[in-house]
Amino acid sequence: MPQKRPPPPPPPWHRELKSHGVTGTNGKTSTVGLLAAALGTLVRPVPSVTTLGAFLDEVPLDGPHTHEGMLAALAEGLRLGAKYAVLEMTSEALALGYARAWPCWGATFTNLSHDHLDAHRSPEHYLASKAQLFMALPPGGYAVLNGCDEASALLAEVLPQGVRTLHYGVASRGSPHAELDLEALDIEVTWQGTSANLRSTVAGVPDQISLHAIGPEHVENALAALAAAILTGASPLAAAQAIERIRPRPGRFEVHGRGPHVVVDFAHSPDALMRTLRTARSLCARQLWLVFGAGGNRDRDKRPAMGEAARAAERVILTSDNCRDEDPRDICQAIQAGLTGHVGVEVELDREQAIRRAIAEAGPDDVILIAGRGPERELQLGSSRIPLVDADVAEAALRLR
């Protein structure tokens, strides 16, 4: 969706859709899918656009990942009777003016951590870009803020007068910075999914929620989507039940095998990697393995922090990610700065071989996390795009055990 030039003004028909934008460092794509399902309890279809593509409800649409492709998807939804739309709003898109190129009636903030500073140059600019979504909300619109992320306090300050607000939170993110309207307690994570007790100031919210997705961060996403749906007018119970039915998007703690368990995850920021490793550790009976790298020509400063997060794994295999024009050896060396003294670190630049090696050497009670690319189908090395799906490589390796 991001463009390298300012986007054109919205078409006149944009007023016929009440659109909701989702921004933050992690969890945007998952939250969009959950909110679309919850809004489907009001009227269907619900068009949504994310970095994975465009959807009508859960059905993917063909089309380019461009501004024009987004407009085509929303127009198709409107033609079929849509009243609501949900959009993933990246910081780069917002910095280019997307909050006004497609005005939103509601906005949700997931969280803020180190990422994309190659594009924004400073954490302040990164947050200011995301704030554009909230500053552009109309009177009578609404905002959903993560009350356990301190950046929410700054976003609350820039909200226009007359914007309604709900705060949600999960203790794993930290202590609340605002009174929470929707809170998850007693989170339980298993290989089958995640459940939590709920406490809310909003009438009608169920006492519990059970998700197919694995990890406390998915409870955060569910609460964000539930709060947004409630502010839109959905029944809290019906919205929660719709959220519970949704299967996680590909590459979001995607589990393969049982002995060992292999997890493919999109985590590519220090915070996301830390949290995904924490979830994997809670489910791991023996050794935790990690296979990962970092993208080239992107945010070099986060690489040592990625290495620091990786210390949670006993065995680490550094490998190629989308290296683009950089030498993968240099990228791995930068990550290793955060792994100084860790005795279980190896380097295997061939990503397919790194995955196969981890699965071949791991014990039946180990867990292997393959991080960074999620569902991506191509690996960018220099000017080449090599077909490579982490999950497919993992499945093939598991069959050989």
Torsion of CA 106, 112, 115, 117, to 10 degrees: 80
Alpha-carbon distances of 167 from 19, 63, 144, 222, 241, rounded to whole Å: 20, 35, 6, 13, 20
Evaluate whether 12-245 and 254-399 have a shared fold: no
pLDDT (0 to 100) of residue 272: 92
CATH superfamily of the 254-399 domain: Mur ligase, C-terminal domain (3.90.190.20)
| Block residue for tokens 């190629």 | 320
According to DSSP, the β-strands at 288-292 and 367-371 are parallel
pLDDT value of position 100: 87
- φ/ψ of 334, rounded to 5, equals -65, -40
Angle among Cα 75, 242, 79 to the nearest 5 degrees reads: 15
Q: What H or E segment, with its residue span, contains residue 169? A: strand 164-170
What does each of the 401 residues of the chain score in pLDDT, given as a tens digit? 444 677 788 999 999 999 999 999 899 999 999 999 999 999 999 999 998 899 999 999 999 988 899 999 999 999 999 999 999 998 888 888 888 889 999 999 999 975 544 444 566 767 888 999 999 999 999 999 999 999 999 999 999 999 999 999 998 888 999 999 999 999 999 999 999 999 999 999 999 999 999 999 999 999 999 999 999 999 999 999 999 999 998 999 999 999 899 999 999 999 999 999 999 999 999 999 999 999 998 889 899 999 999 999 999 999 999 999 999 999 999 999 999 999 999 999 999 999 999 999 999 999 999 999 999 999 999 989 999 999 999 999 999 98
- Contacts of the segment 328-336: beta carbons below 8 A, 24+ positions apart: 328/293, 328/296, 328/381, 331/293, 331/294, 331/296, 331/303, 332/293, 334/294, 334/300, 334/303, 334/304, 334/307, 335/293, 335/294, 335/303, 335/304, 335/306, 335/307, 335/310, 336/307
Task: Note the pLDDT of residue 264.
Answer: 98
Each domain of the chain, given as residue ranges in start order, spans 12-245, 254-399
User: Which pTM was predicted?
Assistant: 0.93
pLDDT of 122 reads 60
How far is CA 280 from each of CA 197, 264, 269, 274, 366, rounded to the nearest angstrom?
A: 21, 11, 16, 10, 10
The domain 12-245 is classified under which CATH number: 3.40.50.10860, 3.40.1190.20, 3.40.1190.10, 3.40.50.720? Answer: 3.40.1190.10
Q: Give me the pLDDT at residue 2, please.
A: 41
The whole-number pLDDT of residue 93 equals: 87
